[in-house]
Amino acid sequence: MKNLQRTLIMGCSLVALAGCGADEIVSPGTGGDIIINNPPPSPTPTPTPTPTQALVTPAGGCPTIATAGGLIDRQTLSGPTGTYRVCELPARFTASDTLPYVRGLVYQINGRVEVGADRGFSSTGTTVTLTVEPGVIFFAQQDSYLVVNRGNAIQSNGTADRPIIWTSRDNIVGVANDNSQQQWGGVVLLGRAPVSDCSSGVFNTSAAPNANPTCEGRLEGAAIATPFGGANAADSSGSFRFNQIRFSGFELAPNNELQSLTTGGAGSGTTIENLVSFNSSDDGVEFFGGGFNVRNMAIIGASDDSLDVDTGAIVNVDTMIAVQRSTTGDRLIELDSPNVADRTPSNAIPQTRLQVNNFTFVQRDGSPQVIQARGGAALGLTNGVINSGNSHCFQIDEPTTLAALIGVDSVVGDCPAVDPIRGGGGNSNADVAAAINAGTNNNFAFAITLTNNVVNGTGETGRTAFNANGRSMFFPTRTYIGAVQNAAALTTTFGNWTCNSSIQNFGSSTGACISLPVYPV
């Protein structure tokens, strides 16, 4: 609310003064007559009310789409930000469709919703593309989730000011809080790029690269067999820019849950940028096989691992924040190849390979390790800050994984004094520590000076950066470590496409994660 300024107008002596300022009190003197000419009082200005965004009113109906049966009008749903028209998605999009942004309208994912049908290991081209406009809001309940099948694509591209939001019914009606989770499934992108874990149980290995020429995986937890993988490393599952995925991770089967975002065999033609995962009950994101680049990712409040990469995925992540809740969360990175259940043979191909550049990790007290790699997977970390929460910063299991280490350079952490770096599965602590400490400009007894959880302080600012562009052309050459160089960069990089919570406040004008943005008409 604008402050009201009151001006005190004082009469001024014609003898002593020609005038006086609004904030001055001046004596008129002691001699002669004092003539005071008071001007008529100015009317009290009407206070300017604080601008308030009008509550949303329901759209008049559901848009028309090409898929047979169209959208189903499920009447309205009300919450703190207004009342919305609910338009239920079809069980399967059979034609390329666009879901437009309409003020006062939300799209419901009811059960398993598929984009196209699986087109097989060796198919080419794209059959069905689902396009989502900036500002669209999806919601779902319980066992509901969206799957983009092999040979089809999604174009879910929000903007910095109007992200696309995938959330739960509780979020719409206003009963979600900063500890809510497991309220719906999540988003799944499947493709035709190579994977290391074959559903047949026969692995391709460096010794027998063609043991299974049609090696494909299966989506974990899905009641319906959902294959992914192929032979096209450049395959595209579409584009996923400026998306928030909130309160996801519903358990589809015992010990099998979906993440906010799950990929399977997504190829290098797939684009993932500016993604927020908020309070996933399982991993924040998990990448099975395939290979692509990710830029600007924030994993907030995941109950299991923040980033899980396995089964032959080849992924580069540039600029990543991961912040755990104080009461839940496992590792910030879990890296494996092939799968967790039977990590033999560890020479399965493609080899899982993860590189992360310019990252800031905030781990809760009581977690096992911040980062664990195993199964022969290759790990590279550059320009990172680890607030360890007294957890062991690294664990690398098995000699094949240690031999595959790409390098750890310009990474700092307040790791515990005892065993900050650990081995396992045949690796000694000393061997792993020697390999990691062989990198340049590392300090694992570092005094963290971060502000607002993730913004570099004086200590981080004083560190020398590593030129990660030499590791991958996807990584820019930067002069700082960590994901957020300074307070201004928090807005510039993560800006309004994120949401705010007690776990991490981004200062986003999109508002709180437990609420919904209300855009102007």
End-to-end CA distance of the chain: 22
| Same domain membership, residue 172 and residue 286 | yes
Please state the domain count of the chain. Answer: 2
**Is 237 a domain residue?**
yes
- State the pLDDT at residue 284: 97
Q: Is 124 in the same domain as 247?
A: yes
293, 314, 335 — which closes off a domain?
314
CA distances from 139 to 133, 207, 262 (A): 15, 47, 17
- Identify whether residues 122 and 2 lie together within a single domain: no
Structural domain boundaries, residue 13: 1-40
Measure the CA–CA gap between 114 and 147, rounded to whole angstroms: 5
Last residue of a domain, one of 314, 345, 376: 314
Burial of 114 (0-12, 13-18, 19+ CB in 10 A): buried
For 37, the token pair is 């000419």
CB of 247 closer than 8 Å to CB of 180: yes
Q: Is residue 424 part of a domain?
A: no
**149 plus 86 within the same structural domain:** yes
Q: What is the pLDDT of residue 521?
A: 73
Q: Where is the domain boundary, 314, 343, 363?
A: 314
Going by C-beta distance under 8 Å and a sequence separation of 6 or more, which residues neighbour residue 208? none
Query: What Å distances lie between residue 415 and 369, 397, 407, CA to CA?
Result: 10, 19, 18
Pairing of strands 137-140, 187-190: unpaired
Closest CA to 432 of 398, 481, 388, 382: 398
Residue 333 domain-assigned (yes or no): no
Do residues 98 and 24 share a domain? no
Residue 320 belongs to some domain of the structure? no
106 and 253 belong to one structural domain:
yes
177 domain-assigned: yes
Could you tell me if 23 and 93 lie in one domain?
no
Q: For residue 200, what pLDDT is reported? A: 87
CB 247 within 8 A of CB 171: yes
> DSSP string covering 25-47, please?
-----SSS-----PPPPPPPPPP
Q: Kindly state whether residue 119 falls inside one of the protein's structural domains.
A: yes
Structural domain includes residue 192 = yes
Could you tell me if 481 and 448 are in contact, meaning their C-beta atoms sit under 8 angstroms apart?
no
Looking at the structure, tell me whether residues 122 and 231 fall in a common domain: yes
- Mean pLDDT (10-residue bins), the chain, 521 residues: 37 34 31 38 43 81 98 98 98 98 98 97 98 98 95 98 98 98 96 94 89 92 87 98 95 78 98 98 96 98 96 97 95 82 70 97 92 96 96 95 97 96 96 97 98 98 98 97 97 94 95 94 73
In a domain, 391, yes or no: no
Same domain for 142 and 202, yes or no, is yes
My answer on whether 102 and 165 are in the same domain is: yes
Instruction: Give residue-wise pLDDT tens across range 104-123.
Output: 999 999 999 999 999 999 99
The partner residues of 451 in beta bridges, in order of sequence, read 455
Q: Are residues 256 and 185 in the same domain?
A: yes
pLDDT score, position 520? 84
Q: State residue 62's pLDDT score.
A: 98
For residues 217 and 118, the answer to whether their CB atoms sit within 8 Å is no
pLDDT digits (tens, 9 = 90+) for 248-260: 997 776 667 789 9
Q: Are residues 11 and 136 in the same domain?
A: no
For residue 347, the model assigns a pLDDT of 82
Residues 164-211 have pLDDT tens digits of 999 999 999 999 999 999 999 999 999 999 999 998 888 898 889 999
b vs e for 151-166, b when ≥16 Cβ sit within 10 Å of the residue's Cβ?
A: bbbbbbbbebebbbbb
The model's pTM:
0.89
